[in-house]
Amino acid sequence: MTVNLIKLALPSGSKYDIRIGSGVNSKLGDVIAGITDYRSLALIADSTVSKLYSEKVSQILEESGFAVAQFAFPAGESSKSLAQMEELFGALAEYRFARDSVIVALGGGVTGDLAGFVASTYMRGVPFVQVPTTLLSMIDSSVGGKNGVNVAGIKNLVGNFKQPIYVSADTDVLNTLPELEWKCGFAEMAKSAVIDSREFAAWMFEAAPKLVEHDTDTLVEAITKTVEFKARVVVADERESSRRKCLNYGHTLGHAIEAVSQNPKVLHGIAVAEGMRFAAFLANDIIGTEPGFVEAQDELLSSLGIQRLGRKFDVDQIMERMLHDKKSNGRTISFVLPKAPGDWVVQELDPSVVREHVEKWMLG
């Protein structure tokens, strides 16, 4: 079985390891004990993950000499709120957690975002360990340090940056992951591959059949490649400015679809995959793409089990969301437009141009 170790060193001075592989959570206590003198841990998980893994992870941590308190919050995006933070702060204070405590986030993106924000602000900051339990959070929220909660109906309106001291990505916990969540992770991998390089895109194309079968070694390799790609981008540009914008590929329409969709809501990764298809369609029309690029990306996503969404959304609502996304200036809409694998530009587009393409896209 492959276990990979990525050593991240950020320009700000933060350094941490990301360990990826089957069974790596069994080393969690020893690793944390090796990087901090603190011996008091708050293990934060949502109600679903808590039932499955909190007890097991607590035991591992306690065996390494940690005092562990478990905190569970209701599963779901609605827990990314200031009210939920207030509850966690109160619970931490009640347990007399002080600055010499470590917060361990055990879960997916919601848990990482919420617990990361808590860790970055409780007593003005305590150390933070990420134990992602979804494929998407292993590759997406473990690198970059972003956290946040939703306020006034706006996703991640409030948050900041907090680097973990360690990330443990154990592929064993993915056994309990629903099929749709696998696809969300694959979409993020595909996005990274297309943005990164011809080599990574070609590798993903080859690996897709094994990934959809959940082959562990291929999975560890794909997670590693995706994390390394994201790490390269983040190291080059720790605070989101120019280069890091490439990570938003597929996110302009993706975020809008996520926000506008109801019953069922479209999950983040699936929405981003749709956004990638749309961005490629847009790029092809506006700046031109390499022959076969649009089709190859379509095929890559389809071979990962992610088909075109085929759902219709209200174009006014979609436009409103894109125009008033927090990355938008309210006058133009920013898109990452691909020309070929590893070759892309960020372009500010006039809303009327975008609208015309969204309308065409919704037709079919």
Catalytic residues: 124, 146, 188, 230, 240, 244, 248, 251, 255, 268
Q: Does an H or E element contain 118, and which?
A: helix 109-121
What's the CA gap between 173 and 184, in Å, rounded?
A: 16
Let me know: does 129 contact 102? Beta carbons within 8 Å.
yes
What's the CA gap between 200 and 197, in Å, rounded?
A: 5
CB nearer a second copy, residue 21 or residue 145 = 145
Shortest reach from residue 103's CB to a second copy, in Å: 13
CB nearer a second copy, residue 76 or residue 125 = 125
Residues that bind a second copy (CB under 8 A): 82-83, 85-86, 89-90, 93-94, 96, 98-100, 120-125, 146, 148, 151-152, 154, 156-161, 324, 326-330
Shortest reach from residue 152's CB to a second copy, in Å: 4
Phi-psi region of 343 (alpha: psi -120 to 50; beta: other; left: phi over 0): beta
CB nearer a second copy, residue 86 or residue 217 = 86
Instruction: Calculate the alpha carbon distances from 91 to 47, 79, 97 in Å.
Output: 16, 15, 9
CB nearer a second copy, residue 158 or residue 286 = 158
What's the CA gap between 125 and 160, in Å, rounded?
A: 11
Shortest reach from residue 142's CB to a second copy, in Å: 17
Shortest reach from residue 318's CB to a second copy, in Å: 18
Instruction: Calculate the alpha carbon distances from 227 to 30, 67, 223, 271, 298 in Å.
Output: 23, 31, 6, 20, 23
SS3 293: helix
CA dihedral 261→117→177→91, nearest 10 degrees, is: -110
Shortest reach from residue 363's CB to a second copy, in Å: 31
Q: How many CB atoms lie within 10 A of CB 212?
A: 16
CB nearer a second copy, residue 3 or residue 158 = 158
What's the CA gap between 337 and 348, in Å, rounded?
A: 10
